[in-house]
Amino acid sequence: MADWLDRIGWSDFASALNEDQVEELEADVGSFLLLSGVLSGNVSRSRIYRAVGGSMLGLVALSHANDTWLSGGESHPDFLTRYEVMYRLIKELVMDMPIGVSDGHPMGFLIQIRGFISAILQTRASNSGGDFKKPNFLNVFSWMIDQEVEFKKELKSKRVI
């Protein structure tokens, strides 16, 4: 697991957190690597899809339940930190995978989930009483399309497509 932590720039995160928060992030990473089959050497496209969905939606659920969107607790980092760690891990793991027969790819799925999360964060911010507007879903969808184009360019540059 240490190799994966190094690949995602672990020190950027760990230095700003206490020991309990670091352990929580390590548990997030370890769980993803276990569920995706990385640790057992049994990685598959379907396992990665399930791990992406489960990890991201799990973080959203935890943040709703514990109200840790922008600030964490003594033992748990905030949502944005956990989300960034998982995003980096997933991207590192899947960017060498070719696009599937029906044009599917785990990064495309992650982009869709990121759009959903963006709408949640914008809604939470707008409800906080600050100077934030409710999410404009056309803007979210436009951003998702732009992300998809960029991700496919990156795959082409790696000669995966």
Half-sphere exposure of 39 (CA within 13 A, CB side): 10
Give me the mean pLDDT over the 96-115 stretch. Answer: 86
At residue 161, the pLDDT reads 61
Contact 37, 93 (CB under 8 A): no
DSSP string, 23-86: HHHHHHHHHHHHHHTTTTT---HHHHHHHHHHHHHHHHHHHHHHT-SS---SSS--HHHHHHHH
pLDDT at 69: 81
pTM score = 0.85
- Mean of the pLDDT values across residues 41-64? 93
Percent of the chain exceeding pLDDT 90 equals 45
| Coil/strand/helix, residue 127 | helix
